[in-house]
Chains A and B, each alone.
Chain A
């Protein structure tokens, strides 16, 4: 559908002073045979209003505006059934090129051609609608403070919730605590946990169905359509189905487990050396502190901080709450026991924010000694007393204390499974026997050994091709962009919350779970409107797979960063559209080019590539194609313009949803069109990835590598394709990257296929 296209060329902002506007209009009217071409004096409000009048009066269905950057426009400026394409003539041409030069004019005209070619092919996206109704119930996995909070908060807004807890009791670790650390000013006194009330409210809430001693034996489907099977944890073999139901979204609040203490501490070797969780149990059950070995009333305790985490060789993370827990437990000991003594040895005492008040209050207690110190030795005397030798205390001294009990402040580890690792493990296990060659079988055996700890660790049991649980980051936390978008998991509609995502205190867990409830609701509401969720929130396009041409190569099913695609027995992708985040990585992966969006496809971008007028070799005007991530590198290019940095005039830029959506066809098209080289600029990848589609730029790099091999086969220099990682704030690097690449092209010479 070509539709009725209206083209507007802006003459303001110095554009008319730098470019031959008539010549640009001729590109529209003569080359592209579009007669509806107007000039406008700016891209400001009055002009937008007049364009809107044109739309109404003349029935325009598509608009192309060559003027200021697309980032200066917003959706409410034009009717939403009109397709809009914006060419950043100001930022990307006029502001970074010398005025009235042949190359500047060529650049502007090429951009116009590229976007004219694009707009001809773009179609309006109809919101994705499922054939079945969207289910808007929520499944909460885990019945600790996070799960309870999430369930209650969602139910308050009228959503039906099913909460599944694997143990026989609700309340998780909070229910095992005697008291909580203070949560309100003046942050002095310990508080009741309040968990019993919370559990009672949960159980009485008509919107919430609770299952205890149960687990999700299978979850299939997608947001709005998750089919859940529950089994009882007690039935063995567990083939008895407890319940089956459908939900729209899932909250994973599976919590944490106490970590094993550091190896250099004599936990398990010496009596009366226990962990913080065990002390909590003693106080909770007995109301006072007694020694595990002989039941004697404890009069003195030494707390050893970082007992289970946060030592470089043990863990690379801090469990955040162990310092608070030890201060709290020291108060237990001192409560009504004026001659009891508590000693806290730490490397760094960590009480952020208002908890500093709690720390200061605890320090004021003459029976609680808090000091920096490294534990040199713990021994047990004949009298059953434990002697702790600590060095480097303040100031500098080595000290010894004799106590009844030693408590190791052990940390938290997430109750999470790494879905991707489980899948890799299962795949490798198969290959050990079914591998095609001896080397393959051997390599598989090594992988099996390496990933053995993931065996039988499944928690959610997702029926996803990429594994039965969320993928995990470092240290096993199943999140992704934890700074800006902390709920953004890599499985749409499944939100991890609470201490499974990172160690946190009770107040933090409640806030976290309330937010997760919102995200679960938001996902269902957006899905029911046919919109994508974060980061392309509101995008109504979705991928269409022309499966008749699929060759079952499985690249899309393996590479999708969000596990959208399952496979049938033959390996044909099964598309669960409501899992999709619209990044287009599948489109980039597909060698058969069968994946497309209405407004973004291999063909649309290829048309842009081919629309560029490539000069003959003897003109000595090389052409370089650059694909830029539209969230980072492309906006950075606007800043290049704002700062009037000079940019190589031979480069033609195409923004892409994610560099991972780059199909190698575009590179071969570029070479056959006569481009001399291709630059790919994406986001940082690796452990601290910044790519909002997780591994888009990494995949582009990998595909670029394949392309370089292909170039070599074609007797072409493989340097003609180059990939860079760039942050949005590093705009200054862009001109430099282009310039260096242009120099390289000059060195190796023009594309020999030019003009063929």
Chain B
């Protein structure tokens, strides 16, 4: 243990960044965790459950939040982004910009205040399938448990209204962004991923047909805090779907879109099959796949689903989706690669199993960090002192991501101890 060690800067407060932060801090090192959203937890907070155990991500998150709260060595900045890193390994300087939350934390605030506002914003936590008030708690388990004000969207009337209903210093309309300059010894990049944009998938009706949704949207539909309060329904008529198709590798393993395999979409879809089955005992479900990639112990999850006679698996890539304009049903053109037949099948709802796109980094680094053709940071060649983890580095599931983060915590600590 080096008592005078510098801090570790961790960029990204998703499951990877949180894991690296608590693991390094529990060894005894100072950590600064920077997250661009208003809350920690990242992408997995938008997942209803994890495969293969079907357990809620919020369970592990609750433990991680306890670990953060009880550890004075961790400093968390939300609504924060790194603008620049300079210096050299062991002696980096970072500029961190913290955007205004406008909520001061001086007085109590809750939904009774938010509900009096008229200005609304798309709820991006629910992939914009509904709106929230301009003053909002990002989600039920948000940490830090503080409201955020979307100042840009707030109408003048609402500005006045807020002044009337809250004590004067509850909300600071003039709050400014501030920039911190911090000195750190090493850096972990855990900037995570975003779902592939379905509007690129013209032939699959992405963004065009109401009843074609993406896998990440389904995670919100099933969640009690989602836009439908946990009900899986068609967006065209709020009816429950009786016949659902999953299109695997929607834009994945495809050189026109994402050439790589995102490693989690097969298990995600199989998990979704279970979600549907829990709500609709007899819904018919068809999974169109190239390969079912249920790796390691996840294989059992697939085997268990084979017992369900209302679930069929067809090897074939979906070529085209058309919509029946009157019923808003969907017709899929697929070549069954085993039988060689071309299928035209009708479904009430289609879920596109889209892959992961790395968020990448949008700030200057003093060291050249190699990035591959897809935008992933090349892990093996990580520069000394800067380490990339999780989905910043490769598509991977939570388990792979967390162990990678624990490993990076050690690398970062080693850097702090070099030369003493």
Query: How long is the Cα–Cα vector from A111 to B416 in the complex, in angstroms?
Result: 48
Q: Find out whether the CB atom of B338 lies under 8 angstroms from the CB atom of A372.
A: yes
The interface residues of chain A lying within 8 Å CB-to-CB of B59 are 484, 631-632, 683, 690, 727-729
Query: How long is the Cα–Cα vector from A514 to B380 in the complex, in angstroms?
Result: 13
Minimum CB distance partner of B335 in chain A: A395
Q: Find out whether the CB atom of A75 lies under 8 angstroms from the CB atom of B380.
A: no
The interface residues of chain B lying within 8 Å CB-to-CB of A477 are 297
The interface residues of chain A lying within 8 Å CB-to-CB of B66 are 537, 631
Binary interface profile of B, 392-414, with partner A (CB < 8 Å = 1, else 0)?
A: 00111011101111110111011
Can you list 10 A-B contacts (CB < 8 A)? A73-B69, A74-B69, A350-B295, A356-B259, A396-B338, A477-B297, A483-B398, A534-B63, A727-B59, A729-B224
The interface residues of chain A lying within 8 Å CB-to-CB of B54 are 688
Q: Find out whether the CB atom of A71 lies under 8 angstroms from the CB atom of B145.
A: yes
Given A46-B106, A392-B338, answer yes or no on A318-B69 (Cβ-Cβ < 8 Å).
no
Q: Find out whether the CB atom of A487 lies under 8 angstroms from the CB atom of B378.
A: no
| Chain B residues at the A interface, C-beta cutoff of 8 Å | 1, 15, 22-23, 26-28, 48-50, 52-60, 62-67, 69-72, 105-108, 110, 112, 137, 140-141, 145, 223-224, 253, 259-263, 291-300, 303, 306, 315, 337-340, 372-373, 376, 378, 380-381, 394-396, 398-400, 402-407, 409-411, 413-414, 417
Binary interface profile of A, 324-337, with partner B (CB < 8 Å = 1, else 0)?
A: 00000000000000
The answer to the question of A290 belonging to the interface, with a C-beta cut-off of 8 Å to chain B, is no
Binary interface profile of A, 24-54, with partner B (CB < 8 Å = 1, else 0)?
A: 0000000000000000011111100000000
Query: How far does the Cβ of B166 sit from chain A's closest Cβ, in whole Å?
Result: 12
Given A318-B295, A395-B337, answer yes or no on A14-B112 (Cβ-Cβ < 8 Å).
yes
The answer to the question of A508 belonging to the interface, with a C-beta cut-off of 8 Å to chain B, is yes
The answer to the question of A357 belonging to the interface, with a C-beta cut-off of 8 Å to chain B, is yes
State which of B55, B112, B298 has its C-beta within 8 Å of the C-beta of A318.
Answer: B298
Q: Find out whether the CB atom of B70 lies under 8 angstroms from the CB atom of A537.
A: yes
Query: How long is the Cα–Cα vector from A632 to B395 in the complex, in angstroms?
Result: 29
Given A156-B414, A317-B296, A353-B396, answer yes or no on A75-B27 (Cβ-Cβ < 8 Å).
no
Within 8 A of B (CB), among A351-400: 351-357, 360, 372, 392, 394-396
Q: How large is the interface on A (under 10, 10 to 19, 20 to 34, 35 or more residues)?
A: 35 or more
Q: Find out whether the CB atom of A631 lies under 8 angstroms from the CB atom of B58.
A: no
Query: How long is the Cα–Cα vector from A483 to B61 in the complex, in angstroms?
Result: 12
Query: How long is the Cα–Cα vector from A595 to B37 in the complex, in angstroms?
Result: 44
State which of B107, B145, B299, B402 has its C-beta within 8 Å of the C-beta of A310.
Answer: B299
Q: Find out whether the CB atom of B27 lies under 8 angstroms from the CB atom of A525.
A: yes
Query: How long is the Cα–Cα vector from A157 to B327 in the complex, in angstroms?
Result: 65
Given A317-B296, A317-B299, A486-B399, answer yes or no on A507-B107 (Cβ-Cβ < 8 Å).
no
State which of B27, B58, B381, B404 has its C-beta within 8 Å of the C-beta of A515.
Answer: B404
Given A74-B69, A395-B339, A522-B27, answer yes or no on A348-B291 (Cβ-Cβ < 8 Å).
yes
Query: How long is the Cα–Cα vector from A46 to B108 in the complex, in angstroms?
Result: 11
Query: How long is the Cα–Cα vector from A183 to B372 in the complex, in angstroms?
Result: 12
Within 8 A of B (CB), among A305-327: 310, 312, 315-320
Q: Find out whether the CB atom of B294 lies under 8 angstroms from the CB atom of A318.
A: yes
State which of A348, A355, A474, A517 has its C-beta within 8 Å of the C-beta of B292.
Answer: A348
| Chain A residues at the B interface, C-beta cutoff of 8 Å | 12-14, 41-46, 71-76, 153, 156-158, 183-186, 310, 312, 315-320, 346, 348-357, 360, 372, 392, 394-396, 474-475, 477, 481-487, 502-504, 507-508, 511-515, 517-519, 521-522, 525-526, 529, 533-535, 537-538, 631-632, 635, 639, 642-643, 683-684, 688, 690, 692, 727-732
Query: How long is the Cα–Cα vector from A351 to B249 in the complex, in angstroms?
Result: 13
State which of A349, A483, A517 has its C-beta within 8 Å of the C-beta of B410.
Answer: A517
Query: How far does the Cβ of A611 sit from chain B's closest Cβ, in whole Å?
Result: 26
Query: How long is the Cα–Cα vector from A526 to B188 in the complex, in angstroms?
Result: 22
The interface residues of chain B lying within 8 Å CB-to-CB of A43 are 108
Q: Find out whether the CB atom of A486 lies under 8 angstroms from the CB atom of B105.
A: no
Query: How far does the Cβ of A324 sit from chain B's closest Cβ, in whole Å?
Result: 11
Query: How long is the Cα–Cα vector from A515 to B140 in the complex, in angstroms?
Result: 31
The interface residues of chain B lying within 8 Å CB-to-CB of A690 are 53, 55, 59
Q: Find out whether the CB atom of B398 lies under 8 angstroms from the CB atom of A484.
A: yes
For the complex with contacts A41-B107, A482-B399, 17 further pairs of A-B residues with Cβ separation under 8 Å are: A12-B108, A317-B300, A318-B295, A350-B295, A353-B395, A354-B372, A372-B315, A484-B15, A484-B60, A484-B63, A487-B403, A515-B405, A519-B23, A519-B406, A525-B26, A635-B141, A730-B56
Given A44-B108, A508-B400, answer yes or no on A522-B140 (Cβ-Cβ < 8 Å).
no
Task: Name which of B27, B50, B57, B413 has the most chain A CB atoms within 10 A of its CB.
Answer: B27
Q: Find out whether the CB atom of A185 lies under 8 angstroms from the CB atom of B56.
A: no
Given A484-B63, A521-B410, A727-B56, answer yes or no on A526-B26 (Cβ-Cβ < 8 Å).
yes
The interface residues of chain B lying within 8 Å CB-to-CB of A730 are 56
Q: Find out whether the CB atom of A44 lies under 8 angstroms from the CB atom of B107.
A: yes
Query: How far does the Cβ of A729 sit from chain B's closest Cβ, in whole Å?
Result: 4
Across the A-B interface, give the 6 residue pairs with the lowest CB-CB distance, nearest first.
Answer: A484-B60, A395-B340, A515-B406, A514-B407, A729-B56, A74-B69
Given A483-B398, A518-B27, A522-B26, answer yes or no on A351-B261 (Cβ-Cβ < 8 Å).
yes
State which of B56, B295, B380 has its C-beta within 8 Å of the C-beta of A184.
Answer: B380
Q: Find out whether the CB atom of A320 lies under 8 angstroms from the CB atom of B295.
A: yes
Query: How long is the Cα–Cα vector from A318 to B223 in the complex, in angstroms?
Result: 30
Q: Find out whether the CB atom of B407 lies under 8 angstroms from the CB atom of A511.
A: yes
